[in-house]
Structure 1
Amino acid sequence: MKGYLVLEDGTRITGETSSEFNDAYGEVVFTTSMTGYMESITDPSYRGQILVFASPTIGNYPMDLG
């Protein structure tokens, strides 16, 4: 599904999302970690923030949903 990241200055970046939310608001932060993205996604220190993964290897191994 197509999604948009709209920054405070009005800049709009188009991308893909799997989110079912219509709107999300938060501070955009990033991580350069090459592994452990499940830990990053569930890390409570990122609560209320939009987490961007800066590594091209993210998503190359499955997520444990159990």
Structure 2
Amino acid sequence: MPSEPAVLVLEDGTIFEGESFGHQGITVGEVVFNTSMTGYQEVLTDPSY
């Protein structure tokens, strides 16, 4: 699967450059993180994050 350049811009103006995967486009959301060694897949679907 080819990837495209992507940019993550935070509210404070911090910019992270990387590569995208999946749907391409502009969107607004929140950044979440998980430090667990297992169960990280639930981050995408669990509303508690």
TM-score interval w.r.t. the shorter chain?
0.5 to 0.7
TM-score (norm 1): 0.52
Point out which structure has higher relative CO (alpha carbons under 8 A, 6+ apart). 1
Report the Cα offset of residue 32 of structure 1: 0.7
Secondary structure of the equivalent of 2:23? coil
Moved over 4 A (4+): none
- Is 1:43 equivalent to 2:46 in the alignment? yes
Q: How many residues align?
A: 46
Once superposed, what is the RMSD of the aligned Cα atoms?
A: 1.7
Match of 1:18 among 8, 16, 21: 21
Contact 2:34–2:40 (Cα < 8 Å) also in 1: no
Match of 2:30 among 6, 18, 27: 27
TM-score (norm 2): 0.63
Structure having the larger proportion of residues in strand: 1
Query: Which blocks of at least 5 consecutive residues in structure 1 are unaligned?
Result: 47-66
Query: Which blocks of at least 5 consecutive residues in structure 2 are unaligned?
Result: none
